[in-house]
A and B are shown apart, each in its own frame.
Chain A
């Protein structure tokens, strides 16, 4: 059922079993998982079914750290969330992403990859990724044109990425949600506060407002914050009427350890002989990116990351994401990026006559950023139209991040040279090992992670292994805000798997 919260009577109270705050991919996937159950689920969405610039204004914020995109434009706040403009690139986390790595401070998840693995197939289905095939061998067999650049290499491997249509959750799952008898979707419902019992260990109600000035209350047995990494932290920090630091923030961890994928053009790969490198080129199904094997990551003391390749001529015609994505308005940014991508495309006929087209490739780094306590989301003094403080971001990287990108380029250069295939050139900002600065073109992948990270120790984490906020038995966080480390893979697929795991846990808890 769909209810426009603007039509509710002021000060109305809604009672439900489960209240999910945020109708993006995480919130929708959990709601879908409860369809047909006897429990009543309320799904709160801050806007309606379409982009609303006034609502989007609530997500403005200052960037005080490394240069970053305007915060208002990095997420979409309407039914379907940021899947409304995502690119659809998906990959799974690697086993090393989950492990405790002695060379990376605060690494390690409190769960095994197997525990997440169980939910990947369902997540895979939600984003319409076709056959559940992630091994390079499958794709080499299926696509005769696909050939590996470094077959049987001791240090490098080809990580498969798959491409979603991309699934727009708002369109794809609207009907299922709206028609589900036990799901109530409330649009134009903005969370402004969470109230707990006197002991502070149980959330009793959520205060919800809209731009029309109406307030109402949701009472639920379980509350799930599923509003994205910045907003999950913002809501916990802003729920500070009873606990001055906000909920779950006794150890000043909420909002900290914010992570983004470091995405930057970083080098060139030049081949001795022409090779179309079809396995690595952008296509509609699956492609590979070059990654470093775990043992070598350990030996080099580096983070995980992948290198994607594209024709150098095409890459040279594209501006850095940080330049194209400069407006507060996400619609303008997406249009700018689409136009630039289209203009950069190579003519199918003339490319055959270009001497370097199949010789020279651009190397694009897509790396995890190591957990960094100083990289954080915090509350601004300014508030939105409903009186909730805005969220600001201080994005910070670590020395190991830069070192890792540099070392991976060296390693690829070494393997390319050893195979007699060609040479690698790194960009200026990577040349000097003592320079920790970043190039102007360094940006993120629009992937917000961390801020309510999972862990067993409340001093370094916000939620436990079941995504339950430490010390509050019925408050959960869903999505990539729970990631303790980001891995190199885009987060959507894994955040869906983790959300489905959370949903399953709550089913167990409620004996469903």
Chain B
């Protein structure tokens, strides 16, 4: 009689491959979804989030420190916040709609870029508003530590 099952392990092998594929899909699919979506992205907490993402926390800290050193009048949170809000209808920096605040500060920075009012600091081409955001980050961080 012919051997009908020349590869006695083929069934197990098939099973193994099937489980492997299902396992990869179970792990890989959510990873891909998370990778290409904003599901894991935390809600914005302030105008500094974008610059932290772009320049990195350490660089932003250094830029902010430099700004406060070069502009002693803005070496405190209240002065920085007041400068950032100049031209805005937002009355209170700490007690306002976060998204509204972010939109205002970002628009202010974009307008400065458009007017080519920039400087190079720590290598980054930034606006005064960017530097004030960095200063805010620095002062907040200094206060917390």
Contacts and interface: CB of A to CB of B under 8 A. Distances in A.
A419 B106 CA distance: 11
A424 B51 CA distance: 12
A65 interface: no
A180 to B, nearest CB: 56
- Size bracket, chain A contacts: 20 to 34
Interface string A387-420: 0000000000000000000000111011111111
Interface string B22-63: 000000000100010000000000000011011100000000
- Size bracket, chain B contacts: 20 to 34
Interface string B51-90: 1011100000000000000000000000000000000000
A12 interface: no
A27 B59 CA distance: 53
B104 interface: no
B124 interface: yes
B35 to A, nearest CB: 6
B20 to A, nearest CB: 17
B110 A418 contact: yes
Contacts of A424: 124-125
Interface centre among B109, B118, B125, B127 (most CB of A within 10 A): B125
Contacts of B130: 417, 423
A312 to B, nearest CB: 13
A266 to B, nearest CB: 11
Contacts of B120: 410, 426, 430-431
A182 B132 CA distance: 74
A428 interface: yes
A409 B109 CA distance: 18
B4 interface: no
Nearest to B106: A420
Contacts of B123: 267, 425-428, 431
Contacts of B116: 410-411, 414
Contacts of A353: 31, 35
A445 interface: no
B125 A422 contact: no
B54 A417 contact: no
23 contacts: A352-B35, A414-B113, A414-B114, A414-B118, A417-B112, A417-B118, A417-B127, A417-B130, A418-B111, A418-B113, A418-B114, A420-B106, A422-B54, A423-B54, A424-B125, A425-B55, A425-B123, A425-B124, A426-B120, A426-B124, A427-B123, A428-B123, A430-B120
